[in-house]
Structure 1
Amino acid sequence: MARCQTAERRGRPYLASAEAIREALTASGVRDGRTVVVYDDGGGVTAARVFYVLEAFGWRDKVKVLNGGFAAWKAAGKAVSTDTPSVEAGSIAALTLDERRVTTKERIQAGLEGAVILDTRSREEYTGEDTRTNRKGGHIPGAVHREWKDSLLPPDENGVVRFKPAGQLLQEFEEAGVRRDRVVVPHCQSNQRGAHSYFVLRLLGYEDVRPYEGSWDEWGNAEDTEVEG
């Protein structure tokens, strides 16, 4: 699935095509109406990215992320295997991108009524101290900052990283100015960390979350964008 999450970046379309995603899912045995459980090594960035991509293509309320990932599974003493399973091909109807699940540079520039632009990068990226490989440093004018990893607890005694309790997360997002009655536009460098925050906000009941898929990879390198530092 990872190979179909994102197409070529910087000036190109960001999400893979609906057909490429459908092919990846059916090759993994996924069928219409079935729930998909996604996990990664533990922090949730990769799993949350898959969660976002599938929801963006209409697989809403049918995707779940394993809290703590594979590390939590092993720490709980669950069975593991190194075998490659034999998978029967699945069957999925044509997928369609839900335009309400994605935001573009042009829409941000035109002004999203009442939207909260949520920058999930590091503090240094937000202030412009760390420009990475971008032409511009700083953040989108008016964007609030809450780093993606602030949604996670410290590693437990087994080194497992899980999400903070829902009540604590909701309080922290609201204190950062991210309210449930507003459109929220999370983003980062390439919408990996932004997708992580998308997942958390969806769990907390935020109804209108529209990640900026181009993220700073586009905004920080475009000729026609303004930045604050």
Structure 2
Amino acid sequence: MIAPLLWTLSLKRQSGLLALAGLFMLATAAGSAAYAGAVRFVVGALGADPQLALMWGPLSLAGIALFRASAIYGQIMSVNRIGQNVVHDLQREMFAKLIRANSEWRRQHPPATLTSLFVADLSALREGVIRVFSNFTRDIATILVVGAYLFYLDWALALAICLVYPVAFAPVERLGRRLRSAASTVLQQNERLSHHLTRAFEIDPFAKAFGLEPFLEKAAAPVFRDR
């Protein structure tokens, strides 16, 4: 599991930033719930005092929007810092391991492959960490806070929503599963293409010496066709 590894190598030392990001996420979730409260206030005030509703309604919505935008900005900045620190710690740890690796293992892994670990793979990991904290965790916090506020307003209606939501979510989950499967297939095809091209370019001088270019073209055709 990569989560315990990330916690041990980097996230454990960033408890302060994690707490700050969590506060910003809760503030963002509170802002989402405050929208419902503000709309409820405006609708109720329209019947009792339309002038009051027209005066305070836009101001309250604008204030909530400013508060939520500030919370989102703070969350993005703190989460980006966390992701960058994770990459920094992993790069330092990986470099220390690689320079101490035995020579036989180093010969089996070209420098370009090792370099891609530091550039491409860790960058993808950084984006994954940012998305987990920015999207997944924030959405969970928003659901919990807004759900609690809905139960406070009308528990029966909120309970009905909780019962209907899983049924409506099932088709979306199936679609997401298909998209993930398609993305995995594309990655496998890209890996196969990259491996084939690397091997072809490595033996290209020998192929030219023996006139094997048509053989290489024929071998590459199925790889290109699968894409």
Tell me the TM-score normalized by structure 1: 0.20
More helix per residue: 2
Higher strand share: 1
Higher gyration radius (CA): 2
Provide the TM-score with structure 2 as the length reference. 0.20
